[in-house]
Each structure stands twice: as C-alpha cells, then as structure tokens.
Structure 1
C-alpha cells in the first residue's frame, strides 16, 4: 500500500508539472489559451489526489481534512477553468488556471 501511495504521489506531481510547464511555455510563446493537456492534467490531479487521500486513510496516517478540502476545491477550480477556457479560448481562463495551480502548490507545501 505504501508503494501505491508513492505511485499516486509521483503521478500527482507529474500532473502539476504538466500544467505548470505548459503555462510557462505558453507565456513564452504569448499564446494565452488553455489546451486539452491542461484539462487532462487537471483530471490526473483530481484522480491521484483522491488516491493519495485513500491510501493515507488505508494506512492510518494522519490526514488534515481542511487541507484536503482546500486542495480539492482548488483542483476542481483548475479543471473547470481549464475546460471553460479550452472551449471559449479566453485569456482570463489561462490566468485563472495559473493562479489556481500556484495556489494549490502553495497549500500543498506550506500547510
């Protein structure tokens, strides 16, 4: 079970890196739209985050319900904003995904 937790953690970090890397790449190219990779990476974040919570509960490890709730809300906001931005091609959605992703990283590290 501990190995599965680490697998979830690695893929959770891959999802974060894909979103953040794409944001930096598009900022450099000055193409401020969200792409399908952001939506799929956000879904990876949601699924692997749920897997991380499940493995922590299964292993009787301590769990901060407040942190989990805030991270879940931010990950849902990233996914919904990326989906809306992909369909409407609006630059505000691109910046929304960037802000929500950065906020999720801050919550994960600082809290």
Structure 2
C-alpha cells in the first residue's frame, strides 16, 4: 500500500505530485525546491537555496517520523555546476558523517527559476 506524506512545514507541491510517498520501509521524497513554506519565497543565493531545500527535506522526514540519518540517497539538481563547492559545504553541515549515496546533476533550468532542487530516498 502506498502512503502519501504531506506537511505544512514544507512547501506544497508545485505540480501533480506528492511531497513524498512511502511504501513499506522506503520513503521517496519528491524534488524539493528552495521555497520557504512560511513566505512562499526563494532566496537568490545558492547557499540559502541549498539550506532551504534541505530544511524542506528535513520537515518531510520529520512528518514521516524519520531524520536525515534515514536518508540513503540524494540527487541534487543545480543550474550551475560552478556552484558545486558551495552546495557541498552546505550539504556537509546537514549530513556530516552520515554521507548517504549522492549524485549532483547540472541542468539547464528548474521550476520557478530555482538554482537547486534536491530529492531523497530514506529507509526505516
């Protein structure tokens, strides 16, 4: 049985999808744009955008009774790979020693002109 996850602590989906879905012991978190759920706004700085996307992932994990330690895989989409070092610095402050598997992909553009979007897979 597929369970959808929704929390007001993360921005609402900007399309026809769920914030996350859970099946058995796996949680699939949809790509999180760096939208602040309280203001519905985005910073124009990559460091702040990376932080917000990861905060949104944390909120969804929390709504599923999980933490960042449950994350086994992340995919990061960025519109400029030249900003990879800045993204990596922010990422390290969230994941530290946990270090799940990860990919970083350069893309031409993202929804709402975001500079970053991050999706995650977590496991109980």
TM-score (norm 1): 0.34
Determine which structure has more spread, i.e. the larger CA radius of gyration: 1
TM-score (norm 2): 0.31
The structure where helix makes up a greater share of residues is: 1
